[in-house]
Amino acid sequence: MKFFSIAGWSDSGKTTLISRLTEKFKVKNKRIAAVKNIPHKYHLQSKKKDSFKFLASGCLEAFLVARNEIVSMQRNDKKDKIFEILESKADNFDYILLEGLFRDDIPVIEVFDSQKNEAPKMSFKSLCALVTDKKNIDNINIPVFDFDDIDGVVQFMEDYHG
């Protein structure tokens, strides 16, 4: 199992990249999990909802169940708890793709749309690869992929050894 963080400015194409990678990996019979970080104060359920009350009362985990979906919720009182939870589930997946969630030992691929931003969000030193529409980028020592080169990104991820 491999973790990869996907970085980029808002509306740069992070979710699109994760969706396209997932589709390609699925064809290869790979099991993928995606994690969306919401960096602002946000509750999945309001304080008036049952699942919020379950967690507030001390439940270790609460589930929301709909016809074809299930959401698992846990309290997150420690910064690194999310990684503990993900690592405990790691054997179930070949790749876990983190959107906007980072840890020093997890490789980062940035999505950069030069039509929307002047420069990438992160320094090239912190990236393992860049996915962009920009054709010429100077002083970069990492692989650069076009938005449409999903096969290339998948191959890079499969070959990546850190």
For residues 42 and 32, is the Cβ–Cβ distance under 8 A?
Answer: no
The structure's pTM equals 0.86
b/e per residue 35-45 (b: at least 16 CB within 10 A): beeeeeeeeeb
pLDDT for 135 equals 81
What is the CATH number for 55? 3.40.50.300
Question: Strand 69-73 and strand 144-146: pairing?
Answer: unpaired
In the predicted model, is pLDDT for residue 45 greater than 70? no
Q: Is residue 147 helix, strand or coil? A: coil
Q: Is residue 120 helix, strand or coil? A: coil
pLDDT tier at 102, thresholds 50, 70, 90: very high
Beta partners for 144? 130
In the predicted model, is pLDDT for residue 48 greater than 80? no
Mean of pLDDT values over 140-161: 95
Alpha carbons 133 and 113: distance in angstroms, whole number: 6
Domain that holds residue 112: 2-159
The model's pLDDT over 52-67, given as tens digits with 9 standing for 90+, comes to 788 888 888 888 888 9
Please tell me the total count of domains within the chain: 1
pLDDT for 105 equals 93
The DSSP secondary-structure symbol of 117 reads -
Alpha carbons 1 and 27: distance in angstroms, whole number: 17
pLDDT tier at 127, thresholds 50, 70, 90: very high
